[in-house]
Amino acid sequence: MTLLIALGSGDPNPWVKEFTALLPDRPTVKLGDSYEPASIEFAMTWYHPAGSLAHYPNLKAVFSMGAGVDHLFRDTALPDVPVARVVDPDLTNRMSEYVVLHALSILRQTRRYREQQKHLQWIDDDWQPAAAEVRVGVMGLGVLGSDAAQKLKHIGFDVAGWSRSAKSIDGIQCFAGDDALPAFLARTDILVVLLPLTDATRGIVNRPLLKGLARDGRVPAPSLINAGRGNLHVETDILECLTDGTLHEAVLDVFQTEPLPEASPLWTHPRVTMTPHNASVSDPLAVARAIAAQIRRFEKGEALLNTVSRTRGY
């Protein structure tokens, strides 16, 4: 009944300590320790080295340390056991804070006024649409996207969302499936990306998609906020779209390569706001408690919560 901590980077020792306290009757070990492979029944991972979970004959379940599971499914030798992810109200709230903050910042032109202040410029023109006149489109109406969409609506934005399957959320115009994507984009002034990274979504935020955003809005041009995954977007396309006016601003928390290489022009682009993949950081104690509770559930014969589909990739 041993839990294995399998991290690709970072210090696993605080996690070992935390789980030892939460599950005192079960040993917790980390990759590289000496243990009997047959003793490993559960693994908690974050970007574990590919193949490193392949040799545990009694592995019963794998837990992602975060909400995303793309880091797990890139391992082609991942054992065929249930995979569960983190769903945590604190994580959801933090993501919605990020999305609302940056949508408001785009609406209220924070970037422009910061520049004006830097140059001691008092330019008070009358271009100030109300939130209700600005259409936000949220790609991904899952745990994070649906919460963000509702909070944006509460602020007053005109909000729509897009997902794979049909949804009904009070006050939010819901679009579903590939066929509905053009109509969703055509009514979007601020695009928020909260999709998981899967075979179907990799590179989806590219130049043709950005070209499909609304051209008739109360904003100079549409803007992008991506807090999902970096490989959902194509950075060269975003840069091109910022240059030719297809996009007004881009707010990026996630990048195709992380940390973002120093040579990337995104670092210094005047209309890019970037954060280091921390739009929503899970509280480690909350994550450990949730996974410990999942293990206890599993051992009582109860179904795991927040499992993902290997076929869909999320």
Residues that bind ligand OXD (CB under 6 A): 66-68, 282
Convert 178-200 into a string of H (helix), E (strand) and C (coil): HHHHHHHHHCCCEEEECCCCCCC
Which residues are bridge partners to 130 per DSSP?
none
Q: Indicate if 218 belongs to the active site.
A: no
Indicate which of ligand OXD, ligand NDP, none lies near residue 143 (CB less than 5 to 8 Å, by partner kind): ligand NDP
Residues that bind ligand NDP (CB under 6 A): 66-68, 95, 140-145, 162-165, 194-198, 200-201, 227-229, 253-254, 277-280, 314
| Comparison of 95 and 160: residue with beta carbon closer to ligand NDP | 95
The nearer residue to ligand OXD, 98 or 162, going by C-beta atoms, is 98
164 binds, among ligand NDP, ligand OXD, none (CB under 5 to 8 A by kind): ligand NDP
> Closest CB to ligand OXD belongs to which residue?
66
Q: Is 112 tagged catalytic? A: no
CB 75, min distance to ligand OXD, A: 16
Shortest-Cβ-distance residue relative to ligand NDP? 142
DSSP assigned state of 261: P
* Among ligand NDP, ligand OXD, none, partner that 195 touches (CB below 5 to 8 angstroms by kind): ligand NDP
Q: Give the side-chain half-sphere CA count within 13 A for 41.
A: 12
Q: State the nearest-atom distance from the C-beta of 175 to ligand OXD, in Å.
A: 24
Cα(66)–Cα(80) distance, integer angstroms: 20
Residue of 26, 135, 229, 248 with catalytic role: 229
Give the integer Cα–Cα distance in Å for 162 and 170.
14
Catalytic residue from among 269, 277, 297, 310: 277
Measuring CA to CA, how many Å separate 182 from each of 4, 46, 111, 177? 45, 35, 29, 10
Distance in angstroms (rounded) separating the CA atoms of residues 192 and 162 = 10
Residue 142's binding partner among ligand OXD, ligand NDP, none (Cβ under 5 to 8 angstroms by kind) is ligand NDP
**Nearest residue (CB) to ligand OXD, 116 versus 306:** 306
Minimum gap (Å) between residue 282 Cβ and ligand OXD: 6
Query: Do 37 and 56 form a contact (C-beta atoms < 8 A)?
Result: yes
**Smallest distance from the beta carbon of 196 to ligand OXD, in angstroms?**
9
Q: Which does 23 bind (CB under 5 to 8 A by kind): ligand OXD, ligand NDP, none?
A: none
Burial of 81 (0-12, 13-18, 19+ CB in 10 A): middle
In whole angstroms, the minimum distance from the beta carbon of 176 to ligand NDP comes to: 7
- Give φ, ψ of 96 to 5 degrees: -65, -35
Q: Which helix (H) or strand (E) holds 111?
A: helix 110-118
Closer to ligand OXD at the Cβ: 63 or 175? Answer: 63
The answer for residues whose C-beta is within 8 angstroms of residue 277's C-beta and 6 or more apart is 253, 254, 255, 258
Looking from the CA of 163 toward its CB, the CA atoms found within 13 Å total 19
Q: Which residues are catalytic?
A: 229, 277
